[in-house]
Structure 1
């Protein structure tokens, strides 16, 4: 996932350019801090008080130079127009957020307005075209049949959430003047692994296999997650 994002950034912007990054729904700030370490100016937005507290704690442990490149804002990603001026960012991230938003189109339109011309919108979403795979691979046949005709599912936290289909998001991105530039599959082979699964000794080989599958048809189309990159016209 990080390598895919880095690939798109490298393809869009001159080497060494300090980018203005907006990370909406940043969680504990893992991606925001990674980009700040690479020299970019990052603004993170997070609504959950526990998550933003964890992000602030992680940021406080960083060297001063990195702390100066990160701004944290507690707020709803749908209110970016309240906090920021249009066109103020080169990259906007929205990773693992859309599944919690019942009507994502207004959110996406607002994020696109935050992008400068040529800016990159990076989305990580649950793949609505592959919802039957997880229950199918775990032997839940009733759940498998039910998953074919819906974009609703229950996640590992026990929350009822929603998935997005590639065709629908492609149309949405075109409609908000940030058409799809590239897309990848994420967690093609490892979606059924439990959170407490030990890290394998051949981790690099596993990551290489996931990376290859994530950019190769037909494998990427059945990934648990989709990483979509749109470019502001």
Structure 2
């Protein structure tokens, strides 16, 4: 498939998809992150390198880089929290999707924004989270979260209505802070528990992140 990865970070998803045989385009505006992707890509075999194209640019300007219907899948994971007004960007992403294409979003869950500080006993931040989608992330940046209801309406409006959604990091949002992740059977059980909770109500609704999948009409 033809896949656009908006904000690929260090290229983890892009490289895994290329290894699986897909044609991947990474659109990245940060020169530092773009350099990290190029470094990771350089370590891959030639057959994988030739399936990845990197473009320096902003996800809000897809029309300047791609023609309508250019991609079967568009990934926008961990990006919307840095965008003050997401609707124009999402509309641009939908335009470059082919009919039947998948728009995959991973966003911070505004409906559960009080969970992390509440479980940590930070009551001032907890109370503030009920009234505002703004928060300070773990690297100290002022960012914002999204509500599933709002994104559902947006996806319908841009012709890529919500097909399904999942919760991400239901149990483990804080579990690994300062600790090495588990391995072996313990990791398998952790992933099984997270996967089950991320598909099951009411647990998925209070996950730290939401994974929403819209399909282009």
**Common fold: TM-score over 0.5:** yes
The two structures, once aligned, show a CA RMSD in angstroms of 0.8
Which runs of no fewer than 5 residues in structure 1 stay unpaired?
1-18
- Please report how far the alpha carbon of residue 144 of structure 1 lies from its aligned counterpart in structure 2 after TM superposition: 1.1
- TM-superposition CA deviations, 1:44-85 (whole Å, max 9, x none): 011111111010011011011100100001111111111110
1:212 aligns with 2:196: yes
Q: Distance in 2 between matches of 1:182 and 1:73?
A: 29
Structure 1's consecutive aligned runs of 4 or more residues displaced over 6 angstroms after TM superposition are none
Aligned equivalent of 1:200: 182
Please say which of residues 191-200 and 212-221 is displaced more in the overlay: 191-200
Q: Distance in 2 between matches of 1:42 and 1:231?
A: 19
Aligned equivalent of 1:76: 58
Pairing partner for 1:59 from 35, 41, 44: 41
Q: Distance in 2 between matches of 1:99 and 1:72?
A: 22
Q: Distance in 2 between matches of 1:205 and 1:129?
A: 27
> What TM-score do the two structures reach when normalised by structure 1?
0.91
Aligned equivalent of 2:168: 186
1:72 aligns to what SS in structure 2? strand
Q: Distance in 2 between matches of 1:45 and 1:143?
A: 34
- TM-superposition CA deviations, 1:77-108 (whole Å, max 9, x none): 11111111010100000000000000000000
Q: Distance in 1 between matches of 2:178 and 2:7?
A: 24
Aligned equivalent of 1:117: 99
- Please report how far the alpha carbon of residue 196 of structure 1 lies from its aligned counterpart in structure 2 after TM superposition: 3.9
1:168 aligns with 2:150: yes
> What TM-score do the two structures reach when normalised by structure 2?
0.97
1:123 aligns to what SS in structure 2? strand
Q: Distance in 1 between matches of 2:56 and 2:130?
A: 37
- Please report how far the alpha carbon of residue 193 of structure 1 lies from its aligned counterpart in structure 2 after TM superposition: 3.3
Q: Distance in 1 between matches of 2:179 and 2:44?
A: 29
Aligned equivalent of 1:227: 211
1:102 aligns with 2:84: yes
Measured at CA, do residues 59 and 195 of structure 1 come closer, stay the same or move farther in structure 2, by a change above 3 Å? farther
- TM-superposition CA deviations, 1:2-39 (whole Å, max 9, x none): xxxxxxxxxxxxxxxxx000001111111000100110
Which runs of no fewer than 5 residues in structure 2 stay unpaired?
none
Measured at CA, do residues 49 and 196 of structure 1 come closer, stay the same or move farther in structure 2, by a change above 3 Å? farther
2:110 aligns to what SS in structure 1? coil
Aligned equivalent of 2:75: 93
- Please report how far the alpha carbon of residue 195 of structure 1 lies from its aligned counterpart in structure 2 after TM superposition: 5.0
Measured at CA, do residues 25 and 159 of structure 1 come closer, stay the same or move farther in structure 2, by a change above 3 Å? same
